[in-house]
């Protein structure tokens, strides 16, 4: 390791420069949470999917419906992928979602789709862990920092092979739902929303850390589906992610996904978001 460079005379002044938010969000259309919650209050439960421990499962939600991810038996983290139901090439964009809303999602934040679509896919409307805030270590819940545990990084770091990582679980579940081969499905798996995961960055080196989730049976996070969705959820092999992932050592639990349909007329004149103008529509390559 090279030794530290000598700081310049104006080092403190350079460090003191005020930060600027990269993407001011004052121009973003605000979700109508009152409308979404009123629609949820009279909604009918349509379906339930149980995601077994260390496995993945797919589910579908129509635009204007609600889906809930819930803790069932014990503390458990989940990795969520979202796709436009009719087009797998439009999927959740964790990086842009992070740039717009921050490292962890809260009520009122949205999951945005990839370029060139860039439209809201789902909006967080309820979260029983909203009380957690920021802990003394800088940890928060529901992160869009981590990519997902995967067999390739696991092999790189340990030399061992493990195929119940979230990446593998998501690929298998997507293949089972769509009829794609696992190899073809794997190419569509993307960076995730880490539901219930408690994470942050260390103050000294800025390293990504995880700690045991504060979620307990009865906790849930609810989303309003802005477009027709195909969701895929993995129950992480790390369980509560308080010690490790990508192994069979942690105690793991299932997760439950429920979908709900609002009563007729509950959404008034609400319409799914349209695709924004694309660059090539204006003659730009």
pLDDT truncated to tens, each residue of the chain (285 aa)?
A: 567 899 999 999 999 999 999 999 999 989 999 999 999 999 999 999 999 999 999 999 999 999 999 999 999 999 999 999 999 999 999 999 999 999 999 999 999 999 999 999 999 999 999 999 999 999 999 999 999 999 999 999 999 999 899 999 999 999 999 999 999 999 999 999 999 999 999 999 999 999 999 999 999 999 999 999 999 999 999 999 999 888 899 999 999 999 999 999 999 889 999 877 665 555 444
CB 74 within 8 A of CB 215: no
pLDDT at 284: 47
Of 223, 233, 277, 274, nearest to 111 (Cα)? Answer: 223
The structural domains of the chain, with segments of one domain joined by +, span: 47-254
> What are the distances in angstroms from CA 269 to CA 33, 58, 276?
15, 30, 20
pLDDT at 103: 97
> What are the distances in angstroms from CA 108 to CA 12, 49, 186, 224, 241?
38, 25, 30, 10, 26
Enter the DSSP assignment of 18: P
CB 161 within 8 A of CB 153: no
pLDDT at 48: 98
């Amino acid at each position: 390791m090279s030794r530290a460079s000598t700081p310049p005379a104006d080092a403190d002044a350079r460090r003191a420069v005020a930060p600027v938010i990269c993407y001011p969000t004052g121009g973003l259309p605000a979700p109508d949470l009152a409308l979404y919650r009123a629609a949820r209050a009279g909604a009918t439960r349509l379906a339930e999917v149980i995601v077994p421990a260390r496995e993945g499962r797919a589910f579908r939600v129509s635009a204007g419906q609600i889906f809930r991810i819930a803790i069932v038996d014990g503390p458990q983290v989940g990795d969520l992928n979202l796709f436009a139901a009719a087009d797998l090439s439009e999927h959740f964009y964790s990086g842009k979602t992070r740039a717009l809303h921050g490292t962890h999602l809260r009520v009122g934040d949205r999951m945005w789709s990839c370029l060139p679509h860039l439209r809201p896919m789902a909006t967080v409307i309820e979260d029983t862990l909203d009380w957690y805030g920021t802990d003394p270590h800088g940890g928060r819940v529901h992160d869009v920092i981590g990519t997902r545990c995967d067999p390739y990084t696991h092999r790189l770091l340990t030399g061992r092979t493990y195929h119940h990582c979230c990446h593998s679980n998501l690929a298998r579940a997507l293949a089972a739902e769509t009829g794609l081969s696992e190899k073809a499905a794997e190419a569509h798996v993307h960076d995730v929303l880490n539901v219930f995961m408690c994470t942050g960055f260390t103050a000294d080196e800025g390293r990504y850390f995880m700690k045991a989730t504060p979620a307990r049976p009865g906790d849930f996070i609810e989303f309003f589906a802005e477009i027709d969705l195909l969701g895929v959820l993995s129950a992480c092999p790390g369980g509560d992610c308080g010690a490790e992932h990508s192994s069979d050592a942690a105690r793991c639990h299932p997760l439950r996904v429920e979908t709900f349909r609002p009563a007729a007329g509950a959404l008034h004149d609400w319409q799914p978001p349209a695709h924004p103008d694309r660059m090539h529509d204006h003659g730009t390559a």
